[in-house]
Amino acid sequence: MCGIAGFFGSRSQPDTLPAAMLAALTKRGPDAQHAMCWDAALQPAASAIRHALLHARLAIIDPRPAADQPMSNAAGDIWICYNGEVYDWQADAAELQARGAVFRTRADTEFILHGYQAWGIDGLLARLRGMFAFAIVDLRQHKVWLARDRMGEKPLLYAHLDGELAFGSLVRAVLPWLPREARQFDPQGIDAYLTHRTIPAPRTVFQHIRRLANGELLEYSLADGSLRRRSYWQPQAQPGDWRDSLDAAIAMRTVADRPLGLFLSSGIDSSLIACRLAANPQTRLQTFTAAFPGSPMDESDDAAQIAQRLDLPNLKIAVPTAIADDFAGIVADLDEPFADPSSFPSWYLARTTTEHVKVALGGDGGDELFAGYKRIAKHLRNHWRGACRLPLPIFATPAGKGWRKLADELRLDWQAAYSLRFSGCTPGQRAFLQPDFGDGQTHYWRAATATPLKKSPVHTLLAIDLANYLPEYILRKTDLCTMAHGLEGRAPLVDHVWYQQLLGVDDAQRFTRPAKLLLAERMPQLAEMRLFARKKKGFNPPLAHWLRVDLAARQDGLGERLQRHTGGQINAARCDALLAHFAHDGSSAEQVLQLLILDESLGQLAALAAQEA
């Protein structure tokens, strides 16, 4: 697990640029930082740099310096810079060795390098199981390949300007490469953030920085500077026993040379993983649970009981009730505007967990596999609407509930309206805050890139989630919050082999009420612990308290600052009116948090954009 970056082009870059880009990645890779640079003739260089691969390493497998990156083949004409963990590759490595490949390390990095040389990019990607974002530089073919894993566990940002390319794990790692005149905020990116609490691929908050979507591949030519983007994966139902595949997905994610743990809530998904780990005496991991003392949403006692029943040690980690001192640092670690309230407890959970272990498994992805979210069930009731929509006007207002919410939904067709089930500011609030923006875009979610295998409403919604909510919200949050503390997060339930075997399960078995009853076939302990009867709890912090106490001072002058940061896109008086609406009746708390995060994030990024590399 690491941070990666690099650049390629016809201009000589400042000698200080590699260090500036690496500085943004230090938290992601605290164990080692290295750069490989080339000149115009593709020869190693320390000055007059045209091309570079940069790597900040968190050493999990084979922590020896021999496994550091960037890494090359024996001939020095193929290089890799890689972030992630690939699992279950040993049989393929044996095949490579039989063909003459010589392995100097035990690292999956070297396996990917040899695999590319033997099978090419498409043959390699077909064999990779796990999470990854990588750059492969092929000096023989004068090509660079950038790829992101199928489900979107690892991030990859890039910029392509005038035939030149830069990439990185973070927006802040790409920013120093951008020419000063190209560092403008993207008005649509800001509106997308207001819409979704995050900025979905392919946009970012900067006009000239883009996000590679899950399951996508970039091909860049060192010869002519051209760039091609394509999807390399479409999920297909696979034969096999999902029970065995699930066990394999969990077991292979316990392989590490550093201590492992498990994020445990009182929910089904993390409890499922705990049950399977507890069944093997060799994987009885320490568990870690976020606690919200005094809150009705606190599930730490229930999680502790689950751990005790499974004979797994459990550590409760209290989320602070005061966050003022950490707010700016957390927003910085979220890289660009990102307003999931649960990212704050996730950040605190990871901060303490990393003091004990360097790898933590978690239950991300279960709800996206089994339609476990309440919003899915609610939206399915309206699937009869299909393409029908009403030509209703958008009512610009700071309020976001009541009949306006229904009008927002009826204005869109059924599929598009699904984006409103989990959104930030309503269309009316966006119109109120941005009276002169006038873009008219209802949402920024991508169309479902994975064609539903079964033409049913529930499969349609899950395909939309697979393209948007899972990679751009759930998995992004986990990556940012864990890597901010040099902690590797692993998510067995988004294993693509297990996922594709679930696609072959009959819908009546897979989509139940309550959700996930299918899992009791493999883990009867889940039913014995009455987890299916337990009301689902969100990972919710004391948001109202934070806004009224810890973050109250930040609301002074908020409208004026946001108007300045956005070049007038957000209206100062309208922003202050929304704050007054919140102060009056307490509604729109999450929208107020969105604006506070946007203010802090844009302020930080504007300061960075003003710096020289």
Q: Would you kindly state where each structural domain of the chain is located, as residue ranges?
A: 2-231, 242-370+468-528, 374-464, 544-609
Average pLDDT of the residues in 112-141: 97
Q: What is the pLDDT of residues 377-433, one digit of tens each?
A: 999 999 999 899 988 888 888 887 777 888 888 999 999 999 998 889 999 999 999
Percent of the chain's residues with pLDDT above 70: 97
Number of Cα atoms under 13 Å in the Cβ half of residue 252: 23
Q: Would you state the CATH architecture of domain 2-231?
A: 4-Layer Sandwich (3.60)
pLDDT of residue 613: 58
Where is 132: in which H helix or E strand?
Answer: strand 130-138
Burial (0-12, 13-18, 19+ Cβ within 10 Å), 236: exposed
52, 7 contact by CB (below 8 A)? yes
In the predicted structure, residue 452 carries a pLDDT above the cut 70: no
Measure the CA angle with vertex 105, ends 103 and 111; round to 5°: 60
- The one-character DSSP state at 31 is S
pLDDT grade for 240, boundaries at 50, 70 and 90: confident
Burial of 1 (0-12, 13-18, 19+ CB in 10 A): buried
Cβ atoms of 242 and 498 closer than 8 Å: yes
Q: What mean pLDDT is predicted for residues 443-466?
A: 83
Strands 260-263 and 286-291: parallel
Q: pLDDT band at residue 566, thresholds of 50, 70 and 90?
A: very high
pLDDT band at 539 (very low <50, low <70, confident <90, very high): low
Q: Which of the four pLDDT bands, split at 50, 70 and 90, describes residue 450?
A: low
Residue among 530, 529, 527, 533 at smallest CA distance from 514: 533
pLDDT at 536 over 90: no
Highest mean pLDDT out of 258-262, 264-268, 436-440: 258-262
- Cα dihedral across residues 503, 467, 218, 63: positive or negative: negative
Give the pTM. 0.95
In this structure, how many other beta carbons lie within 10 angstroms of the beta carbon of residue 48? 13
Return d(Cα 364, Cα 475) in angstroms, integer: 7
CATH 3.40.50.620 is right for the domain spanning 242-370+468-528: yes
The radius of gyration computed from the CA coordinates of the chain, to the nearest angstrom, equals 24
Report pLDDT digits (tens) over 166-176.
Answer: 999 999 999 99
Q: Residue 107 — pLDDT band, cuts 50, 70, 90?
A: very high
- Of 135-144, 289-298, 450-459, give the range with the top mean pLDDT: 135-144
The Cα-based distances of 381 to 51, 374, 454, 530, 546 in angstroms read 54, 11, 18, 27, 35
Contact 371, 502 (CB under 8 A): no
Categorize the per-residue pLDDT at 250 as very low, low, confident or very high, splitting at 50, 70 and 90: very high
Would the pLDDT of 155 be above 80?
A: yes
